[in-house]
Structure 1
Amino acid sequence: MNRTTHVLLRGLAEARLALLASLRSFQEMFATVMFVAGFTVGLSFMRGGTVDGTGVDSATASLPGVLGLSVVFVGVVATAMMLATEREDGTLLRAKALPDGMAVYLIGKVVYAAALVLATVLLLVVPGLFLFDGLAAGLATGWPQLLWVLLLGMVASIPAGAVLGALFDNPRLVNAVGMVPVFGITMVSGVFFPITALPGWIQTVAQVFPVYWIGLGLRSALLPDSMLSAEIGESWRHLETAGVLGAWAVAGMVLAPWLLRRMARRVSGANVEKARQKAMQRV
C-alpha cells in the first residue's frame, strides 16, 4: 500500500469515527432533527399556494433554497466552528504530532462534513417527496443535476469553512463574527426569494459568491422551466454555475491546506492550555 492510499484510508477512518460520535451525541442529533423538522413544518404551511404565473407549488419552489442553506451552513459555518473548537481543545495538536496527521485530519473533516450535508439533504428531500406537489416529478428527471450541484457545492463550501475556521482562534468568534457575512450573503443570494427583486448592484455582488450558484443549480434540478421567469436572464445558466463553483472549489482547495498548516504551526501545548483556562473562566 502506497503512502497516498494509506493517508486516504486513515482520513476515511477518522471521518467514520466522527460520524459515529455525532450519532451518539444527543445534542447534535437533536439539533439536526429540529433543523429538518422546523423547515419541513414551515414549508408544509406553504402547501396549496402557487408561485404567481407558474403554477408551481410554493412549498416545492422554496425547498431548493432550504437545501442550499443546508449546504452552506454545514459546509461553511459548521466546518469553521468544528475546526476552531478542535484547535482550542487540543485535537488539532494531537493530529499535528502524528505522521501525515494534518493530511489525515483534513481528509477526515472534509468527508465528515460532506456526509453531514448529504444526510441533511436526504432528511429534507425524502419527506418532501410525499408532502410537496411536483417534487417527485422534478427529482425523477433532475436527479443527475442535483447530484453534481451538491457535489460541486460541497467542494466549494467546505474548504471555505476550513479557511474561516483557520482565521479565528476560538469557536465563539466564528459564531459571533464569521456567521454574519455568511448569512448576509445568503440573504441576498436569492435562496429564499427571487434575486431579480433586488437592486442590480446587489445581484452583481451576490453572483460573485457560491451561495447564489448553489441555489440556482438546485432550482434547475428540482423546478420546472416555468420558474425561469424569476431568474436572471431567464436561464438556468448551467455552464456558469459549474464555472463559478469550480473556481471557488479550486481556490478553497489551494488556500485551505496552506492556512491549516500555518494554523497548525502556531498550535502548541501552552496555547491549548491557555485556551482551556480561558474557557473554564467563562464557565
Structure 2
Amino acid sequence: MTTTTRTRASHRSTALGIGLRRGVLELKQFLRQKDTVIFTFSFPLLMTVLFGAIFQRKLPGTDVDFTQYFLAGMVATGIMGTTFVLLAVGIALERDDGTLKRLRAMPMPLSAYFIGKTVLVLVASIAQTVLLLVFGSLFFGLTMPATAGKWLTLGWVLLLGVIACTLLGVAMSAVPRSGRSAAAVVMPIFVVLQFISGVFFVFTELPGPVQAVGGVFPLKWLSQGLRSVFLPEELQRMEPTGSWDHPGIAIVLALWIVAGLVLSVATFRWQRARS
C-alpha cells in the first residue's frame, strides 16, 4: 500500500469517525428541541386519528378498512417529515445563524457534517416508522408483513425512500431566503405532496391531472411500495398499473436519488450569498 493510499484510507476513517460522533451530537440537539420532536413524531399520529375517525369505510369491493390503506401512506409521510422537512428547515437555519460557516472553518472533514445529518435522519426515520407501525397495529388493525419477501420489500423501499428524501431535503435547504422563512416555504410543499400522492385518498380516485403530477414525485412511489407490504395482494388492482409495480418504484426512487444528489451538489452553500 502506497503512502497516498494509506493517507486516503486514514482520511476516510477519520471522516467516518467524526461523522458518527457528529451524528450522536445531532441526535442530542434534536432531542433537546422538544417542540420539533413533538411535532415531527405527533403529526402523522394525529392525522391518522383524524382521518381514521372521518373515513370509517371499506375500500370499494373489499373488506379492508380505508384506514389501513391510509396508514401505509402515513408511514411514507413520517419518513418524508424526518428527512426532507427536518433537513430542509434545519440546514437553512444553521446556514442563517452561522453554524455552517463555523463548521467549515474547523479542522474537520466537511463530509463529517453530512454523515452526522445522515445518522440523525436515519435514526429518526426508523423511530418514526416503528412508532407508526405499533400505533397502527394496536389501534387500527394494521397487519404486519407475514413473509420474508414482504419484510425485504419493506427494507429496500424504506432505504431508497430515506436516501431520496434526505438528498432532496439538503437541496431544498437552499431555496428559503432565510432560516426564519424556511418552515413557511417547506411545509406547504410537504402538505400538497401528501394530497396529490395518494396519502389521504385512494390514488386512483384522484383526478387524472392530479395523478399525473403526483406520479412525478417520490412520496407517491414510497406510499405505493409500503402499500404493497401492508395490504392484501388483491388490492394491487387499485394501483394505476393494476400491480404494485416494484420495478417502477425502484427506478423512480433511484432516479430521485440521482436528481437529489446532483441538486445537492449544485445548490449547497456553507453561507448565504450575501455573506
- Which residue in 1 is equivalent to 2:22? 14
CA contact (8 A) 1:88 1:169 kept: no
Bigger shift: residues 128-137 or 151-160? 128-137
- Which residue in 1 is equivalent to 2:157? 149
Q: Would you say 1:136 and 2:113 are equivalent positions? A: no
Bigger shift: residues 205-214 or 29-38? 29-38
Q: TM-score, normalised by structure 1?
A: 0.85
Distance 1:186 1:28 in 2: 20
Measured on the aligned residues, the alpha-carbon RMSD in Å equals 2.4
Q: Would you say 1:115 and 2:123 are equivalent positions? A: yes
CA contact (8 A) 1:188 1:202 kept: yes
CA contact (8 A) 2:92 2:173 kept: yes
CA contact (8 A) 2:18 2:112 kept: yes
Alpha-carbon offset, residue 76 of structure 1: 1.3
Alpha-carbon offset, residue 78 of structure 1: 1.6
- Which residue in 1 is equivalent to 2:270? 264
Residue correspondence of structure 1 range 1-283 to structure 2 within 5 A: 2-42=10-50, 45=53, 49-136=57-144, 142-260=150-268, 263-264=269-270, 266=272, 271=275
1:80-109 CA-to-partner distances (Å, cap 9, x unmatched) read 000011111221011111234431112211
CA contact (8 A) 1:46 1:58 kept: no
- Which residue in 2 is equivalent to 1:279? none
How many residues get paired?
267
Structure richer in helix, relative to its length: 1
Residue 142 and residue 45 in structure 1: after superposition, are their counterparts in 2 closer, same or farther (change >3 A)?
A: farther
Q: Which sections of structure 2, spanning at least 5 residues, go unmatched?
A: 1-8
- Which residue in 2 is equivalent to 1:278? none
Runs of 4+ with >3 A deviation: 39-49, 137-141, 265-268
Aligned residues: percent identity?
34
Distance 1:46 1:132 in 2: 13
Residue 212 and residue 32 in structure 1: after superposition, are their counterparts in 2 closer, same or farther (change >3 A)?
A: closer
Distance 2:60 2:240 in 1: 17
Alpha-carbon offset, residue 39 of structure 1: 3.7
Distance 1:237 1:27 in 2: 38
Q: TM-score, normalised by structure 2?
A: 0.87
CA contact (8 A) 2:41 2:128 kept: no
1:206-231 CA-to-partner distances (Å, cap 9, x unmatched) read 21111110110010111111222321
